[in-house]
Structure 1
Amino acid sequence: MTISPPDLELVRSLEERALNAWPALKTALSGGWQLRLAEGYTKRANSANPLRPSVAFAETLAVVENFYTRHQLAPIFRITPLAPADAGQLLAQAGYQMIDPTQVMTAPLAAGDWPAHDVLIEATASADWSEGFAQANDLSALARPAHERILAAITMPTAFATLTVAGQAVAYGLAVAENGMVGLFDIVVAPAARRGGAATRLLTALLHWGQAQGASSAYLQVHESNHAAVSLYRKLGFTTQYQYHYWVRP
């Protein structure tokens, strides 16, 4: 089976939206790469990301390693279809290993019945949302300050969703709208409430919110190993546009 190469302009537009939706606390640009720092919380916010590479990757490799070493973090490369073709080979030769293959999926938003009466949507992360998300996602106390600072740094319209069942908050999620699309992030269901339809109800509420912001399509990022989530997203109409992965040193 022949797989068509991804549309690089679509990839670039989705990458730019996702970088805005999940901002780093500090950034630097070098040779068409965005170098991101967020106190070590999440690889997305603490990695080198290609946008429009303009120098040989060997040069980028040296710059990135020096940058993250100076900031006392391990260098991480997030390799998307925008990266130079030889990036993977050179990273492997330098002792890096590829981890966390991730799918970027999109779906059109069609008008329909979007039940949301049991989902609270807030424009900012309340104390209850932050506490509930931390517990449902088993977020450590050390990581919470950086997580909350990242959320506070988002500059696009946001929706923080909480699904309540029988008076108990059981699922949390974040949506970020930008230029006709809505991105879904931080989707988590408390362990005791999983496989009961909570994720679907939460997601449909966030997609409805996105439509109200003028979005005609949605996007998300999901680890390939999360088979349950990939299956759910496909049922909701999402299809894979491209993949990315991280390269780290053991």
Structure 2
Amino acid sequence: MPDSAALPATATPITLVSALEERAFNAWPAHQTVFHQGWVFRLAGGYTKRANSVNALVPGAPFDGVREAAAALYARHGLPAVFRISPLAPAAADQALADAGYQHFDPSLVLHRALTPGVSAKPDGRNVVRTSPSPAWLEGFAAANGVAPHHRNLHRSILDAIAHPTGYALQNDARGHAVGFGLAVLERGAVGLYDLAVAPEHRRSGRGRALVQALLDWAVQAGATSAYLQVRAQNLPALRLYESMGFRAAYGYHYRVPG
């Protein structure tokens, strides 16, 4: 698998898609994975669509029988069969799901940028990056991102299962209260940014930019040469922020959910 850092951030070759998809699966691990004819069925108790969806692993993998197998497996676990359609999935799969009544949902973009080794911003004392989540990080993120109480243990279990190096950014306000949160996962030169959240009353004040920059600085110091993240296509403020920080769209994906 080519390292995504060696590929141009402005291009969208299938090798870049495969490299970023593979890293993202590792960065946000499911509790259980089932491999099926070039597809992977991921299950994590229903917390987040990424960890509880069917994804293509092999470009153009055949779709014959996949929908039926996924529906049976997810039903066994009390979950809907949600499909995440990336450029690795054949067009026929998306059409077959549409024909079966699966609804198009949550179109998103994967953004990507290069990082310059040794170049980082001046440290910002408001942001602290640690290699494990503190109680303040866990509790504050759950509150800021609206994680339901019954999903908080599932969220923690996913974090605990991440095998690669992690950086947890915690941002405090002037009174020392935790108000900003972010997670970076580093694998083979590429850092993925996840769980970016700012408490509602502190949004649109530059805190999001500072969080992202703190995580990128941590990643550069750890040897990263590229970065990626996912964002909902309709989240225009976030898109503008990330683009202003050098991120560019690598590819898009969407979900198909049972009607």
TM normalised by structure 1 equals 0.95
1:149 match: 157
| Deviation string, structure 1 residues 189-237 (Cα, Å, up to 9, x no partner) | 0011111100111110000011111101100000001111011000000
Match of 2:82 among 50, 60, 76: 76
Q: Where do 5+ consecutive residues of structure 2 fail to align?
A: 1-9
Contact 1:6 1:81 in 2 (8 A): no
Match of 2:73 among 67, 76, 89: 67
- Alignment pair present for 1:212 and 2:221: yes
**CA RMSD after TM alignment:** 1.4
Match of 1:225 among 225, 234, 240: 234
Give the secondary-structure state (helix, strand or coil) at the position aligned to 2:193. strand
Give the secondary-structure state (helix, strand or coil) at the position aligned to 1:104. strand
AA aligned opposite 2:29: P
2:100 match: 94
Q: Where do 5+ consecutive residues of structure 1 fail to align?
A: none
- Alignment pair present for 1:183 and 2:197: no
In structure 2, C-alpha distance between the alignment counterparts of 1:171 and 1:34, rounded to whole Å? 33
Give the secondary-structure state (helix, strand or coil) at the position aligned to 1:58. coil
AA aligned opposite 1:44: R
AA aligned opposite 1:27: T
Shift of 1:53: 5.7
Shift of 1:151: 0.5
AA aligned opposite 1:234: E
Give the secondary-structure state (helix, strand or coil) at the position aligned to 2:47. coil
Give the secondary-structure state (helix, strand or coil) at the position aligned to 2:111. strand
In structure 1, C-alpha distance between the alignment counterparts of 2:36 and 2:155, rounded to whole Å? 25
Contact 2:11 2:250 in 1 (8 A): no
AA aligned opposite 2:201: A
AA aligned opposite 1:90: A
| Deviation string, structure 1 residues 15-66 (Cα, Å, up to 9, x no partner) | 0000000000111111111111100000000001111167531311111111
Q: Residues 25 and 81 of structure 1: is their aligned pair in 2 closer, same or farther, counting only changes over 3 Å?
A: same
In structure 1, C-alpha distance between the alignment counterparts of 2:79 and 2:203, rounded to whole Å? 35
In structure 1, C-alpha distance between the alignment counterparts of 2:249 and 2:141, rounded to whole Å? 27
Q: Equivalences for 1:1-250 in 2 at 5 Å? A: 6-52=12-58, 56-110=62-116, 111-166=119-174, 167-250=176-259
Give the secondary-structure state (helix, strand or coil) at the position aligned to 1:125. coil
In structure 2, C-alpha distance between the alignment counterparts of 1:236 and 1:37, rounded to whole Å? 33
AA aligned opposite 2:185: V
TM normalised by structure 2 equals 0.92
Percentage of identical aligned residues: 47
AA aligned opposite 1:119: N
